[in-house]
Amino acid sequence: MEELLSGGNTSAEVVKVGPTVRRPTGRWTQPVHELLRHLESRGFDGAPRVLGIDERGREVLTYIEGLVVWPDHFDLVAEDRALAEVAALIRGYHDAVADFPLPAPRPWSDRGGDPQGPHEVVCHNDLAPWNLVRGGAGWAFIDWDLAAPGRRSWDLAWALLSFVPLMPDSQLDLAETRHRIGVFREGYGAAIFPADTLTVAVERCGREAQLIRDRGSLGQAPYARLLAEGHHEIWANAEAHIRRRAPDWQAAVVG
C-alpha cells in the first residue's frame, strides 16, 4: 500500500511503501545516488540509503522514521544543544563528502546550486527544517535532489537562514540572533566556519527570488506556482532584510 507523503514546495509526488520511500527520478538521480552511496561508505548516518529503482521507474530510498522539524516541530531545534547538534551533523556531512570525486561533469540539478562556486564540496542545497528529521537514531536530512557542487558557505548560509532563523519574520531580538549564530558556528566548528556566510545568505535569497521570478514567468513548474503564491516577494524581502542586518550579526560569525 502506498501512503502519500506531504510537505515540500518543489517535490513531485513522494510516497511511502513499507519501510521505503518512492520518488520520481530526474537527470540528477544518478549523481545523487552516487553521492548517497558515498556517504554510506563513509559511515555517515544522517541521510537515507539508496535501494535502487522500482518497476515504475521511481527511486527507492530507506524511509527515515521520525518527526520532520518544520512546520510543526521547530521546538526540536529551539534549544542550544539541538542547534549545535544540527550544525555538527552538517559538518559531518561536509567532511564525509570532502573526498567525493568531482572532476567528471555530472547532470546535477540547477534548482538550488551555487551559480559561481568554487566547488569546495557537494552541497545538499536545502539544509532546512523542512528537510530535517528527528528519529530514534538521531538527526537526518532528507530530499537530496537539489545536491550539487558549491561553496561550504552556500550550504551554511541556507542553514542559518532557516535554523537561526534570519528571515524577516523571526521573533528573535539582536542578542538572541547573535547567540544562535554563535551556537551554530561552534557546533559546526569555529575554526572552519566561513566568514562570508552572511554575505552568501544575501546572495542565496537573491538567487531564489530570481529563479522564482524568471522561471515562474515562463510557466515552469514548480516556479509558476511559487510565483503565484508570493514566494518571489518573500525571498526578495529576505535579501533586503539580511543585507541590512548582516553588519549587526557579523561578529557572531567570526567570533
Instruction: Please report the pLDDT score of residue 7 as a whole number.
Output: 62
Q: What is the mean pLDDT of the segment spanning 85-111?
A: 94
What is the arithmetic mean of pLDDT over 218-239?
A: 97
Contact 62, 21 (CB under 8 A): yes
Q: Does residue 107 carry a pLDDT above 60?
A: yes
For the chain, the domains span 2-62, 67-254
- Within the chain, residue ranges assigned H as helices are 29-41, 80-96, 152-163, 174-188, 197-217, 223-228, 231-254
Count other Cβ atoms within 10 Å, centred on residue 247. Answer: 9
Whether residue 177 is predicted with pLDDT greater than 90 in this model: the reply is yes
Pair 37, 24: CB distance under 8 Å? no
- Can you tell me the distance from the alpha carbon of 24 to that of 223, in angstroms, rounded to the nearest whole number? 18
| H or E element, residue 148 | strand 148-150
Query: From CA 128, how far away is CA 111, in angstroms rounded?
Result: 15
Q: The C-alpha cell of 124 is what?
A: 545538499
- Give the whole-angstrom CA distance, residue 5 versus residue 250: 38
Q: What are the grid coordinates assigned to 69, written together?
A: 522539524
What was the pLDDT predicted at 5? 85
Question: Do the beta carbons of residue 29 and residue 16 sit within 8 Å?
Answer: no
- Listed residue (24, 27, 221, 21) closest to 133, CA to CA: 21
Architecture in CATH for domain 67-254: Orthogonal Bundle (1.10)
| % the chain with pLDDT above 70 | 98
Cell numbers 539508496 correspond to 50
* pLDDT interval class at 102 (50, 70, 90): confident
Of residues 166, 167, 173, the one with CA closest to residue 234: 167
Distance CA 142, CA 65 (A): 11
CA-wise closest residue to 194 among 147, 155, 234, 233 = 155
Note the pLDDT tens digit of each residue in 114-137. Answer: 998 899 999 999 999 999 999 988
Using CA atoms, how far residue 112 sits from 32, 37, 57, 147, 170, in Å, is 14, 21, 24, 7, 23
Measure the CA angle with vertex 158, ends 134 and 35; round to 5°.
70
**Residue 144's CB: how many other CB atoms inside 10 A?**
24
The 10s digit of each residue's pLDDT in 194-216 is 999 999 999 999 999 999 999 99
Q: How many residues does the chain have?
A: 255
